[in-house]
Structure 1
Amino acid sequence: MAEINWRDSWDSALEEAKTENRRVLLELYMDGCPHCVHLHTETHVDAGVIQAVNSSFIPVRLDGRKNMDIVKKFSVTGAPTTLVFGADGKELHRFPGYYSPPDYLKQLEKAG
Structure 2
Amino acid sequence: MKNRFMMVVLTMMILFFGVGTHAVLADEIHWMKFDEGLLRAKSEHKKIFVNFHAEWCGFCTKMNKETFTNPALIAYMNQNFIPIKVDSDRESALAQRFRVQGLPTSWFLTDKGEQIASQPGFVAADNLLHMMQYISTDSYKATSYKDFLKKK
Partner of 1:102: 126
Shift of 1:69: 1.1
The answer for unaligned runs of 5 or more in structure 1 is none
Q: How many residue pairs are counted as aligned between the two chains?
A: 111
Partner of 1:21: 45
Cα shift readout 1:30-66 (whole Å, capped 9, x = no counterpart): 1121110110011100001101110001101111000
Amino acid at match of 1:16: R
1:53 aligns with 2:61: no
Shift of 1:109: 2.4
Q: TM-score, normalised by structure 1?
A: 0.93
Runs of 4 or more off by more than 4 Å in structure 1?
none
Instruction: Give the stretch that moved more between structures: 86-95 or 101-110.
Output: 101-110
The structure with the greater share of residues assigned to strand is 1
Shift of 1:18: 0.4
- Superposition CA RMSD, Å: 1.1
Partner of 1:41: 65
Q: TM-score, normalised by structure 2?
A: 0.70
Q: Is the 8 A contact 1:93 1:110 kept in 2?
A: no
1:3 aligns with 2:28: yes
- Paired with 1:95 and 1:106, the residues of 2 have a C-alpha distance of 13
The structure with the greater share of residues assigned to helix is 2
Shift of 1:96: 1.0
- Paired with 2:117 and 2:55, the residues of 1 have a C-alpha distance of 24
Partner of 2:89: 65
Larger Rg, first or second structure (1 or 2): 2
Give SS of 1:26's match.
strand
Q: Identical aligned pairs, as a percentage? A: 24
Shift of 1:104: 1.2
